[in-house]
Amino acid sequence: MTIDPPQTFSVKSVAIIGAGPSGIASLHDLSRVTRSGKSLFGERDISKYEKEGDLAFPDLVAFERNASVGGVWSKSAFAENNRDPNLPEFKDDSVDLTNPENVYQKIPIDAGLEKKLGDSSVDHPVKVLVTPEISTKIQHQWRSSAAYNGLFTNVTNRYMSFSFDERLGDDLKKINSKYKHIPDHQSSRDVSDYLERVVANNNLEKYIRFNTNVERVKKLPSGKWEVVASHLAEENGVQYLHWYKQIFDAVIIGNGKTVPIVPNIKNMAKFAEVNKDKVTFKLAKSVQDPSFIRNAKKPLFIGSSVSSVDLIQYAFPRDLEKPSVYISRRTETANSGWVMFCSYAKGVVNKPTIEEFLPESNSVRFSDGTVESGFDAIIVCTGYHMFYPFIDKSVVDSNPNIFKFFRYTFSMADPTLALVGNTYAGFFFNRVESQAAALAGVWTNQSKLPSLKEQEQEYEQRPGLLVVPIIDKRFIRPLISLAIEGRPHPFTVNKEKSDYIYHVATGGHTILGLFFKVRNGEVDSRDLLAT
């Protein structure tokens, strides 16, 4: 039976899973709404409204499992602070690595812990010792960032900020001219600095609980959401997890794509073990510093998209007449633009998918029957799952459509469950704030969702890939139409952004040009962030 979503909401408390750009945008827009539905967009000091009890969402909590904000840009989780394993834990080919359930390791909540959680709260948690087994599971929850030393953005700086806290004037000029090889682009550390500044400028840190992982989210018969979280703490050199429950009216999923997609390839586990002393074998997610790629005599990249191309540049310069950099790719035309040109550049050997690893001879058999040997670095760059391991099985069992999100944001099965982020498209900062703006509008009843039938029709007609020319029309504008009156379109705050297609084109041209300069030896790959 089709049931229309409720047309009125009573949302006061909201759990936000993650404090990366998605969580930060959500905190800003939800904290900047009065009870009467007035937008406080861009106001940095809202203490007056807090004291008067005049905020629409007085109870906001962002659960961040790392020690700092930023998500993929979190300083406490990238480069030398990356603690992710090189490969998922598996012993043989019987494990289906394409299933994220087999790559991400949940910490079980046994009957004893469940009982104790009944009386728990953030102030009165259940303390559990972190055993070696639990420590291993934490490591295999892929909590670290995929950013590595030397990583820089492939989006121009003009679109690497929120409209409510934009880089403008001298600040924008300074970051645009900081690096001589990547004008108008910035390093991962610059992005991290910016996000930390946004949180400080807007007094958002008070809402964030760091080193706290959401372990389970359940829907209660009352209609509210029960969140079980574990806070990782250290006492006298010993680690503990402080477990507790908290009830919320709504939940925002903003955890990003952090669990790597790992292909099933015959003999991969055995190959990694047999050749561990002569082959560096790891996921792109686990790279701390790409310098080992430059030193590799024969590197192999599994995957041909952005992550792969970003890392391949560190393999150069080397002899282009005797190509020794290999890509194993699933399709010949999976990408376009600068990614495609780089991956097919002279000096890069493109091969089809891998049929099997041959451990004893340190060789790889490809699906075209050819065999290559002597690889000394293998990096798996096959992307990330959209995976929400904390959503309890009971939620999915009761409604299999729980992860169908209207306008990429509202669960069509239950609009008090929302998704911010986790779409494949550009202009990430402005997109996630448009999602947060829509949530604020609908959850305060200032805007109404269409009927479920209309939602389903729009959902079926949504574009599979949000390419640049249609992102504003098909993503941002429909969401902003649900925002509170007075909440502006992200592209029209402080400056006009109607030339966004031009910026995408020029940004791609810069990245492509730099790749070929590195490949040709004109720029040292160790000097990409020279100022």
Nearest Cα residue to 274 out of 360, 363, 376: 360
**CA torsion, points 295, 299, 305, 309, in degrees to nearest 10?**
30
State the SS3 of 115-151.
Answer: HHHCCCCCCCCEEEECCHHHHHHHHCCCCCCCCCCCC
* In a domain? residue 91: no
Q: Tell me the residue range of the domain where 161 lies.
A: 13-78+106-139+147-259+386-492
Under the banding of pLDDT at 50, 70 and 90, the label for residue 498 is low
What number of H helices and E strands is found in the chain?
Answer: 16, 19
Nearest Cα residue to 85 out of 364, 306, 278, 281: 281
Q: Which of 313, 348, 383 is the last residue of a domain?
A: 383
Please answer whether residues 513 and 485 qualify as being in contact, where contact means their C-beta atoms are separated by less than 8 angstroms.
Answer: no
Quick one: 45 and 168 in the same domain? yes
pLDDT of 152 higher than 90: yes
Q: Which of 383, 412, 434 is the last residue of a domain?
A: 383
* In a domain? residue 4: no
Give the model's pLDDT for residue 462: 83
% of the chain with per-residue pLDDT over 70: 95
What separation, in Å, do the N-terminal and C-terminal C-alpha atoms of the chain show?
62
pLDDT of 1 higher than 50: no
Quick one: 233 and 283 in the same domain? no
* In a domain? residue 508: no
DSSP letters, 293-322, are: HHH-SSEEEE--SHHHHHHHGGG-S--SSS
Quick one: 368 and 253 in the same domain? no
Quick one: 218 and 116 in the same domain? yes
Prior bond to 132 cis, omega within 30?
Answer: no
* In a domain? residue 506: no
- Residue 359 gets which letter from DSSP? G
Question: Residue 266 — φ and ψ, nearest 5°?
Answer: -55, 130
Structural domains of the chain, count = 2
pLDDT in tens, 420-433: 998 766 789 999 99
Under the banding of pLDDT at 50, 70 and 90, the label for residue 507 is confident
**Span 97-109, mean pLDDT?**
97
* In a domain? residue 457: yes
Quick one: 26 and 162 in the same domain? yes
Give the model's pLDDT for residue 384: 95
pLDDT in tens, 64-93: 999 999 999 999 999 999 999 999 999 899
- Other C-beta atoms closer than 10 Å to the C-beta of 355 total 16
pLDDT of 277 higher than 90: yes
Tell me, what CATH number does 319's domain have? 3.50.50.60
Q: What is the pTM of this model?
A: 0.95
* In a domain? residue 124: yes
Quick one: 194 and 280 in the same domain? no
Quick one: 125 and 169 in the same domain? yes
* In a domain? residue 507: no
pLDDT of 250 higher than 50: yes
pLDDT in tens, 436-469: 999 999 999 999 999 999 999 999 988 766 666 7
Q: Which of 383, 408, 431 is the last residue of a domain?
A: 383
What average pLDDT is seen over the chain? 93
Quick one: 390 and 342 in the same domain? no
% of the chain with per-residue pLDDT over 90: 86
Quick one: 429 and 449 in the same domain? yes
Quick one: 111 and 54 in the same domain? yes
* In a domain? residue 278: yes
Q: Which helix (H) or strand (E) holds 351?
A: strand 348-351
Rounded Cα–Cα distance for residues 145 and 191 (Å): 13
Question: Residue 165 — φ and ψ, nearest 5°?
Answer: -155, 65
Quick one: 173 and 52 in the same domain? yes
Quick one: 349 and 392 in the same domain? no
